[in-house]
Every structure is written in C-alpha cells, then in structure tokens.
Amino acid sequence: MPAKIATAKTKNYVAAGFGLIALGLGLNVIVLAHLFPSNLWLQSFLVRGVIYTLNFLLVFYGILFCFYKRAPFFVIVLLWILGAEGVLRLNGYVPWNPRKEIDILVEPPKAVYGYDPFLGYVNNPGHFKITFPTGYSFEVTHQENGFRKTRSGLLPQPTQGQIWIFGCSSTYGWSLNDSEAFAWLVQEKLPDYEVINFAGAGYGMLQTYLQYREALKSMEAPKVAILVYAPYLEWRHPILRSWRKSNVHFNRAGQLGYPAEWMDEQGQNHRFKNNREYKAVPFMQNSALLNLLDQLYNRFQELWVGGRISKIAERTLEEFARESKQHDVKMILAGLVDDQRVRDMFERAGSLGIYSTDVSLDWSDPRTNNLPHDKHPSAYANRKMAEKLLDAIQKVLPESAPRTQ
C-alpha cells in the first residue's frame, strides 16, 4: 500500500476514533443528567466521565488494532468488557447482590412483613422491636388483621364509626413507637371513632387503592377515608423495574412481592403472572458493568413512562372518589409535601369532590426527621401533622369535636 494512502487511511481511522470518543462523552452527559440527582451531577460526571473516556479510548485503539493487526474483533470486545468491568470495580461499582439486606435488627427474630398474593406484602401480626445500626430503636405493634395499633386500652369503645388512613411508611410511622405516630395521636383526640392505620412501609398509591376497595367489600364503610399522598407514591408501581428491584433488599424485614393486579390510565385492570421475583439481566450478579447497564435501563424506563405513571395516579384517585361516593364516605387527600405535583393532585381532587389538606412541614428543619438514625418524620413532625389532619377531619365531619382523654 503506498505510504500516502496508508497515511490518509490512518488519519481517517484516527478521526473516526476521536469522533466515537466525542459521541461517547456527549451520550455520557445526557445519561448522567437523567440518571443521577442534580446535586450530584457534577461529581457523577467527573467520575464517570473519566471511566467512559477510558472505555472509549480502549474501543478506539481496539478498532485500530483490529484493522491493522488483523486481531479477531471478539477479542477487542472482550478486552473492552474486561477493562470496563475492572475500571468500574476500582471506582466502587459492584455486581447486584439480591441477598444484601437492609441493616436492621428485628426482635423477636421473625419477619415484620409477610408475602401476600394480592397486595404483594402485608404487616405480620405481633409486637416488634427494631434497632438501627446507630443503636436507635423503636417498637411497633401489628394487630391480628395486620393494621398498626392506634389506641390504648384506656380509651372507651368507639361508637361513632371509623376513620381509615392510607399511606406509606411516613403514615405507618416508621422509626417511631406506636404512640408517637400521627394515626395514634388522631385517635387520642377522637376516642368516639375507631382510627384504622392501613399504611405499610413502602406502599404505593396502587396498594392503598387496592386496600380501600377490598376493605369496603368486607368491612363497614368508614365515616372518613384519608389518603396521605406524596408524588413518590405514584412511582411505587409494579410496572417499574426500579421499584421492584429496590424491594428485593428488604428481605430482613420480610419477604416482599408486588401487587397482583394494576390499573392503567384507561382504568383497565391487568394481572401479573409472577409478582414475587425481579427479572434481572443475566449474569448481573457477577458483573458490575451489567448491573450498571440494568440501572441505566431502569432509569430510562422511568423517563419513558413518567407521563403515563402520572395519568395512572390520577385515574387511581378517580377510583378512590368513585368508591367513596358509592359508599357515602367523606374522603380527604392529605399532601405530605408542598410541590407542584401535589397542587395539581389537589386541583384534580377538588373536581372529584375530595377535600384536600396540606399536612407538609419544612422538611429541612432538623426537628422534623429522625436523622442521623433515619430520614422519616420525627415524633415532633407527627404531632404537627396530627393537628393539621384533625382540622381537616372536623371540616368534613363537623360532628367530630376533638377532645383529649
């Protein structure tokens, strides 16, 4: 091959190689901007920018080596995979470990939650002491029906009906003793009513609706039903791989599954064939690279279906309203945070005849959480939220005059 032609061909390969590097870095910027929180974006970009630059350099020189030395292309691909795996592990990335569990101590040593074929999981009956690695502990009591205890034996028997409260771990009162959770505090002020806390740690909007629908079939309808809402409840949906993957690590607290059915934005019901397992990428438990690719895929799935998830949540709220109207239940939508999505849901709730109330606090105030032990609302925050909920209950149920026993 003439020298000039070889030189020109080499320049073309060099230009193509650096073009691949530029494309790779451009894609990195897009990926990182959506995959990681904004406050960590720069840090993530610096770390992963170096990683991916090295990877693309390896590909670039691999291509040159492949064309000029006639090495099999699969060898170059294998070198890239091994190089990427090594660089990722050196930077703290690890393969997926489905057996890695949250670091808590449960006494007695039995599951706080149990698999349920319909809801995915429910609270197991019993009294439990839960201790965090910091040494902080709290005690929870689940009644025979799985609902968290909300009243002491000193209160009189309720005569005016029930008040149902639905929500996630913040409503459940995670990291708090029974008597510190706001459902208990509301019960203390309304002893003539029976307050039932349906909440479960990690529950999403779908599970709260399924609980409500099924409870109305088997129990006397309540006077008031309260859904404590935050936007992240929408994202705890079984169609999202990221939510299913995150649940795997809670096995120390109990075996978790996913709701057996779900409703789409048109109100059509769908059923899962297998609501107990997360279908991982093959060999993800052996490769940090494949685990990262799975994480990327899950994040892009969230971006892809984001608008659909919001519509499903609004449709679910419509079903809450329909069931409430059919059973003559006063419904309250309580916003746990103050943002535009919550305000949008308040507006939608108003059009459905649902009363909305803001129970959010300044969550940047250290008094409102249990850090450094846990980020959930503190006993102080629960007292404030109980006060706000009592005001809302009295507005929809004027005959409920809060009183202290």
Whether 118 shows a pLDDT value over 70: the answer reads yes
Is pTM beyond 0.75 here? yes
Task: Give the C-alpha separation, 289 to 82, whole Å.
Answer: 9
Tell me which of 61 and 97 has the higher pLDDT.
Answer: 97
Q: What CATH number is given to the structural domain containing 112?
A: 3.40.50.1110
Q: Tell me, yes or no, whether 257 and 373 share the same domain.
A: yes
- For the segment 144-201, what is each residue's pLDDT rounded down to a tens digit? 999 999 988 777 777 789 999 999 999 999 999 999 999 999 999 999 999 999 999 8
Burial of 256 from C-beta contacts in 10 A (0-12 / 13-18 / 19+): buried
One domain, residues 272 and 379: yes
Which tens digits make up the pLDDT trace of 292-329? 888 888 888 887 877 788 888 899 999 999 999 999 99
Q: Name the residue range of residue 114's domain.
A: 105-284+305-396
Q: Are residues 180 and 173 in contact, defined by beta-carbon separation less than 8 angstroms? A: yes
Over residues 121-135, the pLDDT tens digits come to: 899 999 999 999 999
| Residue-wise pLDDT tens digits, 266-298 | 767 776 655 566 777 788 888 888 888 888 888
| Any domain includes 22 | yes
| 214 within a domain of the structure (yes/no) | yes
d(CA 296, CA 293): 5
Number of neighbours of residue 204 by Cβ within 10 angstroms: 24
Look at the chain and report how many structural domains it folds into.
2
5-41 per-position pLDDT tens digit:
445 555 555 555 555 555 555 555 545 554 554 444 4
The yes-or-no verdict on residue 245 having pLDDT over 90 is no
Is residue 60 assigned to a domain? yes
Quick one: pLDDT at residue 57?
Answer: 63
Considering the chain, what is the average pLDDT of its residues?
Answer: 80
In a domain, 296, yes or no: no
What is the pairing mode between strands 162-166 and 224-229?
Answer: parallel
Q: Does 297 reside within a domain? A: no
